[in-house]
Amino acid sequence: MNGQIGGGFGGVILGSHYWRAPTPPEAEWEGDLARAADMGIEAIQLRVQWAWHERVEGRLDFAEVVRLMDLAHARGLRTVVKFMLPDAPHWLFARYDADRVGPDGRVIPATALSALYSGIGPPCFDRPLVRDKADGFIRGLARATCDHPSLAFYSLWNEIRSTPYGQCACPDSRRAFESWLRARYGTVAAMNAALGKDFGEFAEFRPPSSTNDFTSALVWRTWAAEQLVDTLRWVRSRVREVAPDVPVVVHAGMNNMVNAAMGDSTCDRLNAEVVDLFGHSGVFWAGTFHGYERIEGRATRDEPTWRTRQYILSMQDNWVRNVAAGRPTMNYEVYGNDYGARREDFGPAEMNDFLLTSLSEGVKVMMFWQFKAERIGLEAENCGLAELDGTIPPRGEQVRRLAAFIREHRDLLADYRPETGRVALLYDQASDMISQLMEHGESGQTGSTEYRYKNNLKGWYRLLWEANIPVEIVPTESAGDLSRYEAVVAPALLRVSDALRPALLDYVAHGGRLIADAGFDSRADNAWARVHVPGREFAELLGLASGRKQLHPAPVEVLRSPYGPLPAGDWFARLLPGDGPWASRQAARAVLFAFNPGSARYLNPAADFAPFYAWWDRWTGIRPRWPGLRVRVGSSGGRPVCFAHNLSDGPLPLPAKGAADLLAARTDIPPDEWVVLAGQ
């Protein structure tokens, strides 16, 4: 795309979702779009729901969509048209076999959801009949909009994800699963050997209705995540038939850094390969989302420990940038207000934190969820930048100021790239799934993100983020040659794949520094527990192997560590004696830690990390920088650029001498404020 986004719309786009029928009503469109344009919003998203526009089978009506596009164009706004296929028409379920079916054989009822108001759904898109019925809607919407002068790009799907664990095991899904098994294993004998099973034919592998069988659950949910890629390719192919030159995008709802691996399955790495721009919903919580009114570990100012949670904003953008592999990235749902209708409104500070973090991580498209809140259902009164009566509150006024900043420095921001990471933080989706199965398999709590892998992944990122150590989150499947990194961190890498194993060993053999924590290489590809932990090659490297239990549920007893109080089960000093208070075993180039740094809620907010950073500096030579600040350094057109956020209690000096603050012309940084510095 040569740096251009949306048919010549280059640079950085600041946009917002606007319309999801039936809200806002037509009487408010002109006034709302005028206010959005005045605020500095440059693009609006239209969620075009299948049910709303094909109420009678075969009778398509996109007049409202075109009218909104006309109104947007008159105000100088670009439009993003989203195909809301899961919001299926009532006639689809009344006349045809379209339902999803759980692994236990029960129909998963189609119903209205927070994102599906006009119709019900979702149907099963593994069913050829459902795809056939949707083809007309996809092509019809593309034909009605592809030549409109306001069109920036098409969004192929809303939050590409497979949820809940029980979807879908209908006969068509099972046939698709069987085809996937054939392609993966070749023969039934090979599959049985790989998984330790006794099937007579592929069709006998039924999707498991429980998570007690870790191996079957892992295989099935891996398929479920990868099947979404096929769904995306199908939608893209239909759009391309009509509009071959319009860019297409998609975003993950909860990306792999924050989702529940088994119950909210998706594969960001593979989905990103299908589209021109890939993005995510920029969640502001580091813990489990229990409901709109109860969110754990919030990175917003109403939580006393908000400073220690800010890493979660950066972490998601960092990951998406790396899986996008050079293509522009999106923070596709920047929350315009709190997700709880009864919680305190966001203020200007949250708008700074969300937008400036994304800009610092090189994001090029930022879309608010949403301009005005809904009036019905679960999302009533949530997330609007503007109030329901159209007035613009302080958070909206701050967006206006940030939009002016983006316009003034568009060229610099368009060319901006964060510095290359010195440390690789490995992400392994199989280890993520296995960890959740180990801790929640018996209870079946597949929606929880409270488990060791997610905790450790977040804990390690926070350790590096707070020290301003440039890090890249790297999928293990595409890790390849790791030699350009000065250190590789493998959080809770329970499974070391056959492809990754030689890459890690080669990295260490040639002088790289590898850090892994408890449970490293403790599970095989099929989720079986290894007899010796870690495997033979790594055991030789460390001079250590243990056949004893690892990642055992924590007992009540509490020990002390440099990270604050940790449960004894998370602090294996007695199990693996070492030469330091927190290094269980250290070889010249590899460390197997005895602790899990994600413990006590992704690191104790009050913990003193000084002992860790002192060791890290000695061992890697990568020194923590700018204490009290969170700084992201990069460059644009040969000019150094840095974004700095003061997370201390007092003012701090600018981190770059001779650089000018483009945001507010500050000469120092007050507590909790931001500067954007550019050198000559």
What is the average per-residue pLDDT within 631-658? 96
What is the average per-residue pLDDT within 136-164? 96
CA dist 661 and 566 (Å) reads 41
Q: Read off the pLDDT band of 198 (50, 70, 90).
A: very high
**Bigger pLDDT: 517 or 329?**
329
What is the average per-residue pLDDT within 23-33? 97
- The yes-or-no verdict on residue 676 having pLDDT over 50 is yes
What is the average per-residue pLDDT within 6-33? 87
pLDDT given for residue 1 in this prediction: 33
Q: Read off the pLDDT band of 17 (50, 70, 90).
A: very high
Q: Which CATH number characterizes residue 486's domain?
A: 3.40.50.880
CA dist 454 and 458 (Å) reads 6
Are 375 and 444 found together in one domain? no
pLDDT given for residue 351 in this prediction: 98
Q: Read off the pLDDT band of 634 (50, 70, 90).
A: very high
pLDDT given for residue 543 in this prediction: 61
Residue with tokens 């919407």: 141
pLDDT given for residue 323 in this prediction: 97
Residue with tokens 């500096």: 617
- Please give the C-alpha separations between residue 550 and each of 99, 141, 460, in angstroms, as whole numbers: 42, 54, 19
pLDDT given for residue 557 in this prediction: 34
Are 556 and 641 found together in one domain? no
Q: How many CB atoms lie within 10 A of CB 444?
A: 16
Q: Is residue 7 part of a domain?
A: no
What is the average per-residue pLDDT within 210-219? 95
Mean pLDDT, the chain, rounded, equals: 88
Residue 593's domain comprises: 423-620
- Which of 301-310, 528-537, 568-577 shows the lowest per-residue confidence on average (mean pLDDT)? 568-577
**Bigger pLDDT: 592 or 94?**
94
What is the average per-residue pLDDT within 418-432? 97
Are the C-beta atoms of 524 and 530 separated by less than 8 Å?
yes
Q: Read off the pLDDT band of 618 (50, 70, 90).
A: confident
Q: Is residue 493 part of a domain?
A: yes
Are 63 and 119 found together in one domain? yes
CA dist 336 and 206 (Å) reads 43
Percent of the chain whose predicted confidence (pLDDT) is above 90: 70
What 3-state DSSP class applies to 424?
strand
Are 427 and 414 found together in one domain? no
- Interhelix angle 214-242/128-145, rounded to 10 degrees, is 40
pLDDT given for residue 562 in this prediction: 38
pLDDT given for residue 563 in this prediction: 38
Are 138 and 157 found together in one domain? yes
pLDDT given for residue 586 in this prediction: 46
- Which of 1-10, 247-256, 561-570, 634-643 shows the lowest per-residue confidence on average (mean pLDDT)? 561-570
Q: Measured in whole angstroms, how far is the alpha carbon of residue 665 from the centre of its chain?
A: 33
Q: Where does a domain end: 620, 641, 660?
A: 620
- Which of 105-114, 479-488, 496-505 shows the lowest per-residue confidence on average (mean pLDDT)? 105-114
Domain total in the chain: 3
| Dihedral (Cα; 352, 355, 358, 364), 10-degree rounding | -150
Q: Read off the pLDDT band of 572 (50, 70, 90).
A: very low
pLDDT given for residue 318 in this prediction: 98
At 196, the amino acid letter reads: G
362-384 confidence digits (pLDDT tens)? 999 999 999 999 888 888 888 99
Are 414 and 453 found together in one domain? no
Q: Is residue 286 part of a domain?
A: yes
Are 435 and 331 found together in one domain? no
Q: Which CATH number characterizes residue 337's domain?
A: 3.20.20.80
Are 315 and 437 found together in one domain? no
Q: Read off the pLDDT band of 680 (50, 70, 90).
A: confident
Are the C-beta atoms of 568 and 589 separated by less than 8 Å?
no
Are 432 and 548 found together in one domain? yes
What is the average per-residue pLDDT within 251-265? 95
Q: Read off the pLDDT band of 576 (50, 70, 90).
A: very low
- The yes-or-no verdict on residue 633 having pLDDT over 90 is yes
What is the average per-residue pLDDT within 298-308? 92
